Structure 1
Amino acid sequence: MKKNIVEIICLLYLLLFVYAATNKALDFEKFQVELGQSPLLSAFADWISWTVLIVEFLIVFFLLISKSRMKALYAGFCLMAMFTAYIFIMLNYSSFLPCSCGGILEKMSWQQHLLFNVFFLITGGIALSLQNSFVKDKSNFIKFYNIKLALVAVANSVIVLILFLSSEQIMQRQNPFIRRYPHHPITLKHTVDLKYNSYYFAGSGNSEVYLGNSTVPLYLLSIDFKLQQQKIHVKLDRDSFTFKSIRLAVRPPFFYVIDGKTRVIFRGHISDWKARLQKPKSPYFNIAIPIDSSTIAFRGISNNTNILGFFTTGEKAKTNMAPQLLQKQIDGIFDTDGMLHYSTELKRIVYIYSYRNEYIVADQNGVLDYRGNTIDTVSHAQIKVAYLKNKTERTMGIPTISVNAASSICGHLLFVNSNVPGRYEKRKVWDQASVIDVYDLNKKTYLFSFHIYGIDGKKNRNFLVTPDYIYALIDTKLVMYKINNKLKKEIKNIPE
C-alpha cells in the first residue's frame, strides 16, 4: 500500500511538471514577459525563466527513471516549496498579482493556486516520508527525516523571500527598467469626438473636466462624467486686450486666464466666469500653474536658462525665484524642458523633465524636498543644440524623442507617459499604445504601468487623471476611462 501511494504521488508530480514545463516552453516569450512583471522576480526574470524551465524538464526526465525517481521527487518537493512561498508572498506583500502560468493553471485564482501548491507540497512530503520508512532501524531516522523535510521547505521559502527583497531593492534603486502591468487598472468608458485637435486640458473639478481651445482662446468646453457638454465664454474686465500666448486654467472655485509673454494674469470665479486683471504685472514666463487664489508657480528664463519661481498677486505681491531647482546639463533650455504640476494633497510642486529620467518635488517656497527618478535609464538628456544667427537663436540639432511625453498628478501619484520601451516589451504594442507609468511621490517609488491605446493610428497626446476617471486626448477624440479598484486604492491610499 505504501509503495502504491508513493508511485501514485510520483505519477502526479510527473503529470504536473510535464504539463507546466510544456506550457512554458510553447509560449516561453509570454512566460518570460509575465515573470518580468512579477514584483518578486522582476530583476532576475532573464535567468530564472530559463532555470525554472530547465529544472522542470530535468525533474520530468529523472522521474521517468526508477533509480533516480526519489531524488527527482525530492527536487520537485523543493521546487514546490519555493512556488508555494512565492504565491504566499505575492498574495500578502505584492503591489499587484501578475500570472506566470499557462493552461488551466492560469484559470485559477491566486488563492486556489496556493491551495493547489500546498496539496502537492503535502503529498510530496508524504511520499518522501513513506519511501524512507522502508529502511531498517527507522524510528529515529524517520523522525530526523521529517524534520529535515520541514527544514528544506523553510529554507526554500527563505530563498524566495531573499529574492523578493533583492528584486524590490534592484527595481527601486538599481533601475533595471522592467515595467509591471497589473490586470485592467482602467476600463474604456466613453469616446467623444471633439471635431478639432486644438483642445487642451484646462483643469477639472465638481465631476467635470474643462477643455481649453488654442484657436478660440476665451472659450472653455465643460464635459461631465455623463458626457453632458457645456460651452463657456470667459469674460474679462477689459474690453480689449492683446494676448500673445493665452492659456486657461480651472481650479474650482477659481479659473485663470494666463499669458506669460504679455505678463498678465486674470482670475475669476466659476460661478459667473468673469475674470479680473491681477496686479501687479507678473514676471515673464512660459509655463504657469495656479497654487492658490493669489499665487502661481511658473517657469521662466533667466540668463538664458530655464528657472522655476513663484509669483503672488495683490497687496502682498512678491516674486520668489528658485534657481537651484532646475539643473543644467547642456544648454539650460532644451535640456531642462519639462512639465510643471501642483499637488493640492501634498501642497508641493512637481516638475518632470522631458529629456531625462528625473522629477523634482519642492514646497511652495521653492525649497527642494527631493529629486526622484523614473524607471528608465536615460539620466542625461540625449540632445544636440544648434545655434543660428550668430548664436542668438537655438534649435534642436538632431531629431530627438523625449523621454517623458506627458504627465499628470492626482493626489500623491505621478502619472508619466513614457517614450522609452522597457525590457520584454513588444514593439508592436508600443506602436499602438502609450505607456503610462505610475509613481508614489510619498514613498518615492515606481508602482506599475498601464496602456492607453490609440485610435485610428493616432496615439495619446495628453491626459488628465482624476480620482475616478482618466481622460485622454487622442487626435480629435476625448477618451474617458473608468479607474478600477487597483488604481483607485492607490489614489486613496493617503498616509496619516
Structure 2
Amino acid sequence: MKINTTIQKNLVIIICYAYILLFIYAAVSKFIDFPNFKVQLGQSPLLGVYAEFIVWSIPLSEIIIAVALSFKSCRRIALWAAFTLMVMFTAYIYIILNFSSFIPCSCGGVLEKMSWNQHLIFNIVFVLIALMAIFIESKKQQEPKKTILLVTLLTLVAVTAVIVLFQLSEKKIHHNNAFTRRIPHSPVKMLKGISLEYNSFYLAGYNKGKIYLGNNSAPKYIMEIDTSFTIQNAYRLNQDNHNFNFATAQVRVKDDFYYFADGTIPVIYRGSTQDWKGKPIYKGNTKFSTYEVIDSTNFTVRALHPKTGENYLTLIDIQNKNVAQKHTDILKKQIDGVFDTDGLLSYNAKLRTTLYTYYYRNQYLLATPTLDSIVTGKTIDTLQQVDLKFAYLNNWREKKFATQPEKINTYATTDGNYLYIKSKRLGKYDSPEMLKEASIIDVYQVNNNSYQFSFYFYNYKGEEIKSFKVYDDILLGLTKNHLVIGRFRKERFNPLQ
C-alpha cells in the first residue's frame, strides 16, 4: 500500500512537471514571437474578434498555472485550472476541424510542427493525464463523487464557453467586423503566367475556355488566349458604319458576343465572336463613363447627369426604343457626387444582380437589373466617410485632387455567389510585409451580404495584380506585364457552391 501511494504521489508530480514544461514553453514561445502569434490569433475563425484580449490572457494564464503547479499548497487548484484550460483548447481544435469555414495556421510553440489532428490527440492526452492527477489527489480528501461532479461541471463550462465564443465571433466577423480579416491557408493555387507585349491590356471576358483581352492603346484589337496559354489569336474588330471618333472604347465579351462602346459617344456595337463583325445596336443621347452587359439588349451604365454633372446609374434597354431609364438617386453623394461616387461597376449573371463598389468608402451596392431595388453592403474596412481634398484651376472651372486619395477598394469583381474586392488597407492583425508580396482579396457573399474570408493573391515575378476576374473556379489576373491564372482549391473554398 505504501508503494502504491508513493507511485501515485510521484505520478502527480510528473504530471504537474509535464504541464509546467508545456505551459512555460508555450507561453515563452508566444511572447518571443508575439507579433506573429497576435496575427495568427487575429486571423482565427473562432477567436479573431477577441484577439486583443486573448493574445495576452492565454500566455499569462499558462504562466500563472505553471507557477501555481510548482507549489504544493496550491497544486490541487492549479490542476483544476490546467484541466479546464486544456479542455477549452481541445474544444477549440474540435470546432476548428469540424465546424469552421477554414482551418487557420498553427498555434505556435511546441505544437507548431503538428497537424491539427495531431493537436487534437495531443490535447486529449493532456486532458486525460490531468484527470488522472485530479482523481489521485481527490482520494486524499475522500471526495470521489464531488470530484466527478466538478469535473463534469467544469467540462461543460469550458466547452460551452468555447461554443459561445465561436457563435458570437461568427456573427461579428460576418456582419460587424471592425476590420478583422480571417485568412485561411491559400485557397488559390497559382498555375502559370504569360508575358504580354504591352501594359495596356485589360480583361474583356471569358467564354468556353478562352480568355479575351482588350487593349486600351488599340481599342479595335482583341487577343484570345486559351487557359493553358498555348494558343493565342489576335483579331481586329470590323465595325459596320463606323463613323464615330471613339477615344476610350472598351470591349466586353459575354457568351458568343462582343460589345464595343466608348460612352463619350452614346453608341454601343454588338457582334459575334465567330467573325468579329459588329454593328450599332444603340444610338442614344445618354453618354456614359463605364458599362456592363446584362444581356444582348440590356446594359447598366454609369452616366453624368446633364444638369448637375454628378454620377448616376441607369439602364439602357435596346428593346424599349433605345430609351435609358434614369435612376439618379442610387449613388449616394457625400461631397461632390462625382469623385466621391467613383467606383467599379459589375454584373452578376447567376444572381441577376448589378453591383457597384465605391473606391473611397467602405460600401458597395446591390441592385436588380432594372435598378428598382437597392441594398447597401459594407466592407470590413471602417472608413465610411469619403475623405477627398480638391484643387481648382482655370478660375474654378477645372477640379482636380489636391492630394492623391487612398482607395479603400482598389478593384472589385463578382461571380457566382461572391463579390471579390482588392484592398491595400491593412486590417487589425494584417502584416505590412505581406503587401510587398501579395494583393489582399476580401470575399463577400452577395446573397446574404456578409464577409466570408480574405486570401493573398501573390505577386507574379515581382508584379502585383492591377485587375482580376473570377470565372467559376478560375481566377485571372493582370499585372503590369503579365497575364496570370490561378484556380481555387475546392477543398478549401468552392466558389461554385
For Structure 1 versus Structure 2, the TM-score category normalised by the shorter chain is over 0.9
Amino acid at match of 1:27: D
Give the letter for the 1:158 counterpart.
T
What is the rounded CA distance, in whole Å, between the counterparts of 1:264 and 1:351 in structure 2?
Answer: 22
CA RMSD of aligned residues (A): 1.8
Contact between 2:106 and 2:116, CA under 8 Å: does it hold in 1?
no
Tell whether the 8 Å contact from 2:261 to 2:268 is kept in structure 1 after alignment. Answer: yes
Aligned partner of 2:133 among 120, 127, 137? 127
TM-superposed CA distance for 1:468, in Å, is: 2.5
Q: 1:24 to 1:14 in 2, by over 3 A?
A: same
Aligned to 1:34: 40
Alpha-carbon distance, 1:186 to partner: 1.2
Hey, what's the Cα distance between the residues in 2 that align with 1:360 and 1:487? 28
Residue 44 (1) aligns with residue 16 (2): no
Distance in 1 (CA, whole Å) between partners of 2:242 and 2:137 is: 95
Deviation at 1:439, TM superposition (A): 0.8
1:364 match = 369
Question: How far did 1:323 drift?
Answer: 1.7
| CA–CA separation in structure 2 for the residues paired with 1:387 and 1:299 | 24
Matched, 1:69 2:75: yes
Aligned to 1:261: 264
Amino acid paired to 2:331: L
Query: Can you list the C-alpha shifts for 1:98-139, whole angstroms capped at 9, x where unaligned?
Result: 13422552233323322222222122122212210122xx3x
1:201 is matched with: 203
Please report how far the alpha carbon of residue 419 of structure 1 lies from its aligned counterpart in structure 2 after TM superposition.
Answer: 2.1
CA distance in 2, matches of 1:288, 1:241: 18
Task: Give me the whole-angstrom Cα distance separating, in 2, the residues matched to 1:476 and 1:65.
Answer: 65
1:179–1:448 Cα contact (<8 Å) kept: yes
Say if 2:411 and 2:422, in contact at 8 Å, map to a contact too.
yes
For 1:478, give the aligned amino acid.
L
Aligned to 2:144: 142
Match for 1:388: what amino acid? Answer: L
Contact 1:70–1:128 under 8 Å retained in 2: yes
Question: Which structure 2 residues correspond to residues 82-481 of structure 1 after superposition, within 5 A?
Answer: 82-103=88-109, 105-135=111-141, 138=142, 141-227=143-229, 228-238=231-241, 240-281=243-284, 283-302=286-305, 303-314=308-319, 316-455=321-460, 458-481=463-486
- Is contact 1:279–1:314 with CA below 8 Å preserved after alignment? no
Q: Determine if contact 1:280/1:313 at 8 Å carries over to the other structure.
A: no
Residues 449-458 or 439-448, more deviating: 449-458
Which deviates further from its counterpart, 37-46 or 346-355? 37-46
1:11: which partner in 2? 17
Q: Secondary structure at the match of 2:146?
A: helix
CA deviations on 1:151-202 (whole Å, 9 max, x unpaired) are 1111011122222222233323333211111111112211111021100111
Instruction: Give, as a single letter, the amino acid of the residue that structure 1 aligns with 2:351.
Output: L
Report how far residue 339 of structure 1 moved: 0.2
% same residue: 37
Q: String of CA shifts for 1:283-323, please: whole Å, max 9, x gaps.
A: 11001011001010000011221000000114643321122
Closer, same or farther: CA 11–474 of 1 in aligned 2, 3 Å: same
User: Which segment drifts farther, 423-432 or 196-205?
Assistant: 423-432
* CA shift in 2, pair 1:35/1:198, >3 Å: same
8 Å Cα contact 2:193/2:460 also seen in 1: no
The answer to whether the Cα contact below 8 Å between 2:201 and 2:213 also exists between their aligned partners in 1 is yes
Q: Partners in 1 of 2:349 and 2:207 — Cα distance?
A: 12
Shift of 1:204: 1.0
Mapped partners of 1:223, 1:477: distance in 2: 13
What letter matches 1:183 in structure 2? H
Corresponding letter in the other structure for 1:97: I
Contact preservation (8 Å) 1:309, 1:320: yes
Once the two structures are superposed, what CA deviation does each residue of 1:212-249 show, in whole Å capped at 9, x if it has no partner? Answer: 00111111111111102111222112255421221100
Q: For the Cα contact (< 8 Å) 1:375–1:446, is it kept in 2?
A: yes
For residues 461 and 474 of structure 1, do their structure 2 counterparts lie closer, same or farther at Cα, with a shift above 3 Å needed?
A: same
Contact 1:37 1:179 in 2 (8 A): yes
* TM-score for the superposition, normalised by structure 1: 0.94
SS at match of 2:410: strand
In 2: Cα distance, 1:282 partner to 1:293 partner: 19
Q: Which moved more, 1:258-267 or 1:428-437?
A: 428-437
Query: Equivalent residue of 2:288, what SS?
Result: coil
Secondary structure of the corresponding residue to residue 357 of structure 2: strand
Cα distance in 1 for partners of 2:11, 2:448 equals 51
Bigger shift: 425-434 or 361-370? 425-434
Alpha-carbon distance in 2 for matches of 1:210, 1:294? 21
**In 1, are the aligned partners of 2:443 and 2:454 still within 8 Å (CA)?**
yes
Whole-Å separation in 2 of the counterparts to 1:387 and 1:112: 64
Q: Runs of 4 or more off by more than 6 Å in structure 1?
A: none
Which 5+ residue runs of structure 1 have no aligned equivalent?
A: none
- 1:233 corresponds to which letter in structure 2? R
Residue correspondences, number: 488
